[in-house]
């Protein structure tokens, strides 16, 4: 009897140690800068929130559904967006959970014809093996994009050269991303506010603030998304 109880306790401990972190009911799946000092936040429930950086709050009337009225050509993909970033020449790129992507014309406000297409090494040199595994994309300095993978690795993509930099993927550690190592597999979105700070959103409803120039996570993070620090996102999560 004692042996059975002991084995049962060991099993419970093993399950507790290996249990995955629970995802929040609704969480940020992608975020991208937009003209007019805005950031578009895409959510796991198929909605999005438009955020005004200078005013530090969401525009009125959000969240809204991602459909072909609000995002012409992306209506099919609301719940499937897993990454987004700003490309060159007025284009935005959206990655989807099935390993495809779309190119969006920001000025014309619609997806370009002929998309979505599959992510391959022909159209995204160095990314072909990682299309469905992308967990976030982050515009960085020097026309680089940091692309995060759901296994805790990342790749650095050079927009000017149009290829992944040599030596990637690399594991997220406190040497290359000071403060982020323990959160690498939890990242679901990232965005550079272009004011010296970048934000990482985690699947458990928390977020991190990263100092771009200092190249490290700010002290005091992660924090839970609340009605005080991200009122519009909190309301969208709770609605």
Closest CA to 136 of 175, 183, 89: 183
Query: What pLDDT is attached to residue 6?
Result: 44
Query: What pLDDT is attached to residue 7?
Result: 47
Query: What pLDDT is attached to residue 9?
Result: 43
Q: Would residue 7 count as lying in a domain? A: no
Residues with pLDDT less than 70, the chain: 1-24, 239
Place of tokens 């060991």: 10
Q: Would residue 17 count as lying in a domain? A: no
Q: Would residue 12 count as lying in a domain? A: no
Query: What pLDDT is attached to residue 239?
Result: 62
pTM of the model: 0.88
The per-residue DSSP string of 68-100 comes to: TTTSTTTGGGTTTEEEEEE-STTEEEEEETTSE
Q: Would residue 58 count as lying in a domain? A: yes
Residue 222: give its domain's CATH number.
Answer: 2.110.10.10
Number of structural domains the chain divides into: 1
pLDDT digits (tens, 9 = 90+) for 93-102: 999 999 999 9
Query: What pLDDT is attached to residue 231?
Result: 87
Q: Would residue 177 count as lying in a domain? A: yes
Sign of CA dihedral 94, 44, 134, 33: positive
Q: Would residue 102 count as lying in a domain? A: yes
Asked if residue 221 has a cis previous peptide bond (ω within 30° of 0), the answer is: no
pLDDT digits (tens, 9 = 90+) for 225-238: 999 999 888 888 87
Element (H, E) at 34: strand 28-34
Q: Would residue 60 count as lying in a domain? A: yes
Query: What pLDDT is attached to residue 22?
Result: 52
Domain of 99, in residue numbers: 25-238
Q: Would residue 196 count as lying in a domain? A: yes
Element (H, E) at 81: strand 81-86
Q: Tokens for 212, please give them.
A: 């771009």
């Amino acid at each position: 009897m004692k042996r059975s109880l002991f084995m049962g306790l060991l099993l419970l401990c093993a399950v507790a140690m290996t249990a995955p972190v629970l995802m929040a009911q609704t969480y940020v799946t992608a975020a991208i800068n937009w003209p007019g000092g805005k950031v578009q936040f895409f959510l796991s429930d198929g909605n999005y929130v438009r955020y005004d950086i200078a005013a530090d709050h969401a525009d009125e009337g959000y969240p809204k559904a991602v459909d072909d009225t609000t995002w012409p050509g992306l209506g099919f993909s609301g719940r499937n967006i897993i990454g987004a970033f700003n490309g060159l020449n007025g284009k935005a790129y959206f990655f989807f959970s099935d390993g495809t992507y779309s190119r969006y014309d920001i000025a014309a406000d619609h997806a370009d014809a002929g998309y979505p297409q599959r992510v391959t090494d022909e159209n995204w040199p160095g990314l072909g093996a990682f299309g469905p595994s992308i967990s976030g994309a982050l515009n960085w300095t020097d026309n680089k994009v940091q692309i995060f993978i759901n296994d805790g690795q990342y790749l650095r993509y050079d927009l000017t050269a149009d290829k992944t930099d040599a030596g990637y993927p690399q594991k997220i550690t406190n040497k290359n991303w000071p403060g982020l190592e323990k959160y690498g597999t939890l990242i679901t979105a990232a965005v550079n506010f272009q004011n010296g700070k970048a934000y990482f959103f985690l699947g458990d409803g928390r977020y991190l603030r990263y100092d771009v120039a200092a190249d490290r996570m700010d002290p005091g993070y992660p924090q839970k998304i609340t009605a005080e620090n991200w009122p519009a996102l909190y309301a969208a999560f709770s609605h």
